[in-house]
Amino acid sequence: MRGGRNNNVDCFRIVLMVMIVAHHALVHGIGMENIQNEMTLELIRLPYFVSNAFLIIAVNCFLGISGYFRIRKNTKKLVEIVMETMCYVMLINFLIALCKNALDLETIFRILKRTMFFWEGYWFITAYIILMLFAPFLNKLIDVLVTKDKNNLLITLILVYSIGGFFLQISGMKFS
């Protein structure tokens, strides 16, 4: 649909956002961060593990939607998302410190440092910036590839990121 919003895609994006929040609640809320390092998977955690396997695809779907609609270089949008992220990082960290009654000078400096260097804990902003910088080149590449080459590229990327990111835990290939 050119020139307007596609309500189906917008609804799908909302579902994906809920899935991403649920994924983070499972991974960080119940401690599944190091699931590959655990020797055994407790029986009680099996439902969480299976649920997370279906939830984690939401990030990939977001990237797929972005690729389908073509990412366009937009410096204003980039600045907006960086500023929003910095504000949320600062606000959330201040609220957490207030709730813990731990708002001293050292904590304030740690929050300000975390806000200024937000990309250390928020990989998606770094990925977004890199993707936006490479978008014009990626769009040109997609324009010249035939369907067979596009499919081969997709399969290659899936294999590289599945094996490299999940199983081998290569830094920069993990999405969580």
Q: Give the CA count within 13 Å in the CB-facing half-sphere of 10.
A: 5
Tens of pLDDT along 58-83? 877 877 777 777 777 778 888 888 88
Rounded Cα–Cα distance for residues 80 and 74 (Å): 10
Q: Report CA dihedral (147, 3, 13, 60) to the nearest 10 degrees.
A: 30
**How confident is the model at residue 96, as a pLDDT?**
85
Query: How many of the other CB atoms lie within 10 Å of CB of 16?
Result: 19
Lowest mean pLDDT, pick from 66-70, 98-102, 163-167:
163-167
Q: Which residues of 25-47 are buried (b: 16+ CB within 10 A; e: fewer)?
A: ebbeeeebeeeeeeeeeeeebee
Report DSSP letters for 35-104, one per residue: TTT-SS--GGGHHHHHHHHHHTHHHHHHHHHHHHT-----HHHHHHHHHHHHHHHHHHHHHHHHHTT---
pLDDT above 70: residue 7:
yes
* Rounded mean pLDDT, 92-102: 85
Domain ranges for the chain, please list them: 1-69
**How confident is the model at residue 97, as a pLDDT?**
85
**How confident is the model at residue 148, as a pLDDT?**
93
Comparing 161 with 8, the larger pLDDT belongs to 8
Rounded Cα–Cα distance for residues 47 and 167 (Å): 20
Tens of pLDDT along 12-31? 888 998 998 888 888 777 76
Lowest mean pLDDT, pick from 44-48, 94-98, 114-118, 129-133:
44-48
Tens of pLDDT along 109-156? 888 888 787 667 777 777 777 778 888 888 888 889 898 998 888 888
